[in-house]
Amino acid sequence: MSLATAFTELSGVEHPIALAPMGGSAGGALAGAVSRGGGLGMLGSGDGDPEWLAREVTLLDEARAGRPWGIGFLTWAVTGERVAQALELGPSAVMLSFGDPGPCAQLVRDAGALLMLQVTDLEEARRAVDLGADVIVAQGTEAGGHGAVRGRSTLPFVPAVVDLADPTPVLAAGGIADGRGVAAALALGAAGALLGTRFQATAESLVDPDTAAALVAASGQDTERSRVLDLARGSSWPAGYAARTLGHPFLDVWRGREDELADAAGDVRREYEEAVARGRIPALPQWAGEGVDLIGDLPSAAALVPALAAQAERTLERALGRAAGGGHPDTPEHPPATNHPDTPEHPPIANHPDTPRRHPATDT
Ligand SMILES: Cc1cc2nc3c(=O)[nH]c(=O)nc-3n(C[C@H](O)[C@H](O)[C@H](O)COP(=O)(O)O)c2cc1C
């Protein structure tokens, strides 16, 4: 069985798996590793800073082994001029998220890159279809990082977008962190999955070591969606967006008091900066999705992509009762995580609910 889908056909990648263009994590090394592994690696360029892009594209080119790649922008933060500049670097796909993609969408289409639009509700999905998106990414609120305050859960949202957008291929995003999640996305009618948090915890991610260790140790229950950290640090994210992060002392102080926090923004920002300077809180919020339970190691992203695809295939075969042995896709004949990042046939992504968690992965 192969996991060829409308997305793999359209984008020219081997596996129906894309890297979320995560600001702060998805630099050239990570995007290149995902592409080399057979997924679609995408640079998280945020506002499209040309210096950052030039540096990271060099790293990406060294790592991607000639495979397709993309760039993601925060639509509310980027200008048409910067998107046009980035298109000159020759990405095969461009993803626009959070905000009105109208002004930039045509630039992407004119350049011949795949237009990928991330949506958080059905109205945005309809607009994405109208704008001629080649791929629509349906983001559920389980997602790590930012999303619409009034978002939707992945499980019911993805098939609703699939129905609305048909025949445009849809990628599911939000809470997908192992091959079972990729299989679930396909079962919902998506043409693949876009993963952020799982790839944030990899060897090639730009994330700092403390955050990587926190992701390995965390449970989805430790995550929370809130605007508090954006308000406290004086971030320019628009009011319609919240972010899912790991626990944080400022969340405990300001939860439910966002209006008061907005009024006291200057003072709280100074307090926040002082706490960062003293090392009492991390420099950036630790963005993480609900799927963080399933992360128990820091593998190479290049090995993780085929491992995810292989686990997804086994999951689907088992669900159809086709594979010998039945049961869970990671029971003995497909052993659970053996921790080595370069062994796709033993994917580093087990953590079945009935088996003990391994945090960190070396702790067997
Ligand atoms: C650390 C982090 C940073 C992110 N930054 C961006 C970003 O800059 N642009 C964007 O479109 N999405 C960003 N996202 C959201 C992803 O596009 C995606 O919706 C999300 O990661 C999917 O959920 P998951 O984290 O559970 O896999 C970010 C997510 C994380 C975890």
* 226-238 residue pLDDT tens: 999 999 999 999 9
Query: Is the pLDDT assigned to residue 15 strictly greater than 50?
Result: yes
Q: What is the mean pLDDT of residues 80-109?
A: 97
How many angstroms separate the CA atoms of 236 and 230, rounded? 8
Q: Where are the beta strands (DSSP E) in 246-313?
A: none
R_g of the chain computed on alpha carbons: 20
Tokens matching residue 74: 């925060």
Check: CB of residue 261 under 8 Å from CB of residue 231: yes
Mean pLDDT taken over the chain:
90
Q: Is 349 helix (H, G, I), strand (E, B) or coil?
A: coil
Burial of residue 238 (number of CB atoms within 10 Å: 0-12, 13-18, 19+): middle
Q: Which two tokens stand for residue 192?
A: 């693949």
Q: Which atom of ligand 1 is nearest to the CA of 44?
A: 8
pTM for this structure?
Answer: 0.90
Q: What is the pLDDT of residues 175-193, one digit of tens each?
A: 999 999 999 999 999 999 9
Written as six digits, the tokens of 287 are 């963005």
pLDDT band at 338 (very low <50, low <70, confident <90, very high): very low
| Across 50-72, average pLDDT | 98
Mean per-residue pLDDT for 26-48?
Answer: 98
What single-letter amino acid sits at 82? R
Angstrom distance (rounded) from CA 145 to CA 360? 23
Rounded CA-CA distance 204/4 in Å is 26
Q: Which residues of 27-58 are buried (b: 16+ CB within 10 A; e: fewer)?
A: bbbbbbbbbbbbbbbbbbbbebeeebbeebbe
Element holding 252 (H helix, E strand): helix 249-254
Terminal-to-terminal C-alpha distance of the chain:
32
Q: Using the mean position of ligand 1's atoms as its centre, give its distance from the Cα of residue 197 in Å.
A: 7
The yes-or-no verdict on residue 39 having pLDDT over 90 is: yes
Atom of ligand 1 nearest to the CA of 143: 23
Position in ligand 1 atom list of the atom nearest CA 45: 8
Distance (angstroms) between ligand 1 centre and the Cα of 323 equals 34
Which of 146, 195, 222 most suits a substitution to test ligand 1, by most atoms within 8 Å of the C-beta? 146
What type of residue sits at position 243? Answer: A
Ligand 1: atom nearest CA of 74 is 9
State the average pLDDT over residues 341-347: 40
* Residue 289 alpha carbon to ligand 1 centre in Å: 9
The ligand 1 site (C-beta within 6 Å) comprises 20-25, 44, 46, 72, 74, 97, 118, 139, 142-145, 173-176, 195-197, 200, 287, 289, 291
H or E stretch covering 310 = helix 301-319
How far apart are alpha carbons 121 and 129 in whole angstroms? 13
Mean pLDDT of 232-259: 96
- Give yes or no for a contact between 298 and 337, defined as CB atoms under 8 angstroms apart: no
Q: Name residues whose C-beta falls within 8 Å of residue 146's C-beta, 6 or more positions apart in sequence.
A: 98, 237, 241, 242, 243, 287
Spatial contact of 24 and 44, defined as CB atoms under 8 Å apart: yes
Asked if the model's pLDDT at residue 364 lies above 50, the reply is no
Residues 164-168, mean pLDDT to the nearest whole number: 98
Measured between alpha carbons, how far is 331 from 272 in angstroms, rounded to an integer? 46
The amino acid occupying position 324 is A
Ligand 1 centre to CA of 144 (Å) is: 6
Between the CA of 134 and the centroid of ligand 1 the distance, in Å, is: 20
Q: Is the pLDDT of residue 363 over 70?
A: no
Average pLDDT over residues 311-340: 66
What pLDDT sits at residue 323?
Answer: 66
Flag whether pLDDT at 117 surpasses 70.
yes
User: Closest by alpha carbon to 37, among 284, 303, 222?
Assistant: 303
Q: pLDDT band for position 337 (50/70/90)?
A: very low
pLDDT reported for residue 173: 99
The whole-number pLDDT of residue 327 equals: 53
Ligand 1 geometric centre to CA of 77 (Å): 15
* Cα distances (Å, whole numbers) of residue 7 to 3, 127, 135, 212, 259: 10, 20, 7, 30, 42
Per-residue pLDDT band at 7 (split at 50, 70, 90): very high
Please give the C-alpha separations between residue 83 and each of 74, 86, 236, 294, 362, in angstroms, as whole numbers.
11, 5, 20, 35, 42
List domains and CATH numbers for the chain. 1-225+295-364 (3.20.20.70)
Q: What residue's CA is closest to ligand 1, atom 3?
A: 22
To test the pocket of ligand 1, the residue of 17, 19, 22 to mutate (highest count of ligand atoms within 8 Å of its CB) is: 22
- The CA 117 to ligand 1 mean position distance, Å, reads 13
Ligand 1 atom with minimal separation from the 244 CA: 31
- The residue assigned the tokens 């809180």 is 281
User: Nearest residue CA, atom 31 of ligand 1?
Assistant: 144
Residue nearest to atom 30 of ligand 1 (CA): 145
Mean pLDDT of 56-62: 98
CA nearest neighbour of 82 among 63, 55, 108, 56: 108
